[in-house]
Structure 1
Amino acid sequence: MLEKKTLDYEKVVLIGVVNQQQDEEKSKEYLDELEFLTYTAGGEVIKRFTQRIDIPNPKTFIGAGKMEEVAVFVKNEEIGTVVFDDELSPAQQKNIEKILRCKILDRTSLILDIFAQRAQTSYARTQVELAQYQYLLPRLAGLWTHLERQRGGIGMRGPGETEIETDRRIVRDRISLLKKKLVTIDKQMATQRSNRGALVRVALVGYTNVGKSTLMNVISKSEVFAENKLFATLDTTVRKVVIRNLPFLLSDTVGFIRKLPTQLVESFKSTLDEVREADLLLHVVDISHPNFEEHIASVNSILAEIDSKDKPTITVFNKIDNYSHETIDEDDLVTEKTKVHYTLEDWKNTWMSTVGDNALFISALNKENLEDFRKKVYSEVRKIHISRFPYNHFLYQEYD
């Protein structure tokens, strides 16, 4: 009989701050997300530390007193990794390592590590490797002296494990080589996209872990990897889909996230080209997440960065099977009704008045309201197709 393997999670401490840009509630929300990122990378969060500080300490990011508190906890609990929610400067990272004597990561390096785990194709691995080298370049001075002690685990995948001779010149050469490689692959992918003919292109976009891949599987009847972890898919998957007799191309793209490292946005430009060149966007939203409206704003912000915010868009509110809300007793005349008390019907009325009839409420997992989804997508794709090929209008009738 085979023994059941147990996952060996690293013990991790998280550190966040409260300041003018983010209050306690916002800081807690960011740390919740950071904890999910840590779990995705293979870590177990043992404790969180938060400090109210308007201007980060230039040497150690947090204040001396809080740093001492963290140091005592790290030593007593034998913590292997400390993750900061904000990006650390190379000097800060080096100073903190000397004090805490363990691996020090920030949100950027943690996300890069997850991407290194998740990259499956040569293209995705090249993109991630480029982003990692760009992140490592200013941090080389203090990195190699700790490398032997820190080898392996969260934050140490990819180029961090290469030989110590990887100095600045070699890294710059490698960055240049990777950029040339990506340019070559980009041209190949652009040719592939141009060879897809006259089919209408539809792209799934959204925050990470909202159910895009699950929806892709249901609609295209294909098997795209889907998992309840952040960044389950990095590689763009394109499938030909037919609703009734109308064919179109559906692509699943990498999920967005707040504080997405600029190195990754730069490296994954070609992945985002699928979004840029799409005729229709399906913006998938996890309505069961308490802060889904902020997720929508984050996605819209990135779409604006890549000049795709004004494309025809259907907002698809997914996971209605997981949605819950606080209830108010009818006799309660004191409690003010806020968004935490909204029913699904309340949200429908809210968003229908915001985006008109371009909002849908579904459960991809339980296949709820998928007929409405198909009908709406068919209608929008048909409009685009007929505008492009007016003489084909008789081939595709209105959805009954």
Structure 2
Amino acid sequence: MKDRVLKAEEKQDFISKLPDEILSIIISYLHVDEAVRCNVLSTRWEGMWKLAPHMEFDAKHMIKPLSQLLHKRKSHKVPCFHPDPSKNKQVSRDEICKPDFSPGLFSGLCSLELVNYTIDSWAAFEGCINLKNLKLERIYLNDISLSGILEACKGLENFSLVESTGFQTLIIVKSSLRVLQLQALCLDEVEINCPNLEVLQLDSVKCPLQHLIINAPSLRTFHSYCYSIFARLLPINEGRYVLKTHEILAHCSSSLSESPNGNFLQNLSNMSMDLNLNCISEVMDLSLVLRFCTNLQTLEVALPTLTHKNSDHGSSDDCATPYPISMLFESCHCIHKMLKSVYIRRFRGKEHEMEFVKYIITRATMMKKITIKSKNSKREAESLLSLPKASRNLCINLKINVNPMK
């Protein structure tokens, strides 16, 4: 009797009992070629992939390339990222797929991810009024195609542009956009004019500083990284270098002084960056920015690694200063009245970073937690535990002997 019950349970197909809405969401987690192959499961699964709210096209993942599923495959000369920047150049890569996407192909999607493709037209994005999430990774496309895609996606809310080339200008004027990620890009001009943008991440972006414009008054979270591995993958270009975090902040602060109504720092509650606390010029830029961040509650700072070489436009440790570091932050309202959480990575226990952390502990009255990660500065980090705390709720969390890259 027991065996009969087990066999009956084994024969039950619980997945088939799920409604189409749930099945389409499950399929959306598959690559498009895997989703299409679900047609063979049963008559009910046939065409189910067309209802998926999200599609991921990755030319290198395809068992049967998309160019064979749709039209044809073409070779195209595209920039290829190489770990050695001196070897970055245009090479012919047959593995870069240049499919002939039909007009309006993506019009029914809510979410789309394209990886390892060459796109020479925005026609496939015609009618993409429902597309909310779009990620373009390792894509080769020109300025016309990129601007056409952004224009066609009327209701776009989440946009990621990663390790992509072929275009020189990125101008995003979109009131619907909420989240923007720009990573490993080499450009002549960047303009972000998004009144409702809430999250912005700039990671290893090469662009002349004077050609960077950020107008995002609703921004809540800002991430800026210049020492990540992506910076080393970018080709060397004369007149263009990876924008340093402190330069971006100083540049934006300068423009805010002239036009306070466009202050994208005023509403920030979370900010994370890589910044050298041992370089006085970078610390001064940080203090200037924190004066505008009147609502900042969470701050994360990652110091550069000791082995990192800023060969193109770098700054080194500079301990020469005519006055204590603490004086730079006396006018920062957010530190004294708003800041609740601070995270310091790659702490080395040097003079300036010690002064900064001491100031946070002894002057930030609303602090709840400060986390310090260090490779081998145990004695310096532990000395912070004996300092008088401005906040009785402050917890000091020390993580010693951890990987400095994390």
- Please identify which structure carries the higher strand content: 2
Q: Which has the higher contact order (CA 8 A, sep 6+)?
A: 1
Could you state the TM-score of these two structures normalised by the residue count of structure 2? Answer: 0.25
TM-score (norm 1): 0.26
Whichever of the two has the greater Rg, that structure is 2
